[in-house]
Amino acid sequence: MILVVDLCYRPGSLSAYEFVDPITAIIRGTGRDVRTCHSTQVDAALAGDAEAVILCGTALRDQEYAGYPDRFAWIRGCARPVFGICAGLQVIGRAFGGSLTACTEIGMTPVRVVRDDPLFADRASFEAYTLHSIALDPPAELEVLAVSGACVQAVRHRTRPIAGVLFHPEVRNPWVVERFLEYSLH
């Protein structure tokens, strides 16, 4: 079972239709079981029961998750693969001591791969849909995998199966989620 974590401002918000449901559809398309849970209900035990955890994005002005960094302390000790999308990347970065900075990108954005990684296979660049007003200044534990002209677009933990992207792969790049599951669960 893949645990999908809804980071939207409240459980059951309409934003889940845009940011959570497309991710669960991609996962189901790979033949895996999915469980969705709001971020206020996740703990280390629940995350530990999953094969992998995916932290979903939120709406542009929905930054409620950023006010509760302790809510995500379980990420530092999670033995399962963890993948963050947009707000999820920011949560991962903060869990390891990174900081958030203002950076707005909206729409299709050129992304350049700067480090070989199975997440992007043989791609040197691609177009991705971005929708954020905050970017991550990653800590030393996270290596930068891809960038746009404005900010870091993808990171990976140096020693653990933890990665994230700032863009929204559910819009135009579902292969990113599929690849994360493929290489992190085999």
| Active site members | 86, 168, 170
- Give the type of residue at 8: C
Nearest 5 degrees, angle CA 153-CA 37-CA 161? 45
Residue 18 has what DSSP assignment? H
| Distance spanning both ends of the chain, measured CA to CA | 14
Q: Is 147 exposed, middle or buried (0-12, 13-18, 19+ CB in 10 A)?
A: middle
φ, ψ for residue 99 (rounded to 5)?
-125, 160
Report the number of secondary-structure helices (H) and strands (E) in the chain: 7, 9
Q: Is 116 exposed, middle or buried (0-12, 13-18, 19+ CB in 10 A)?
A: exposed
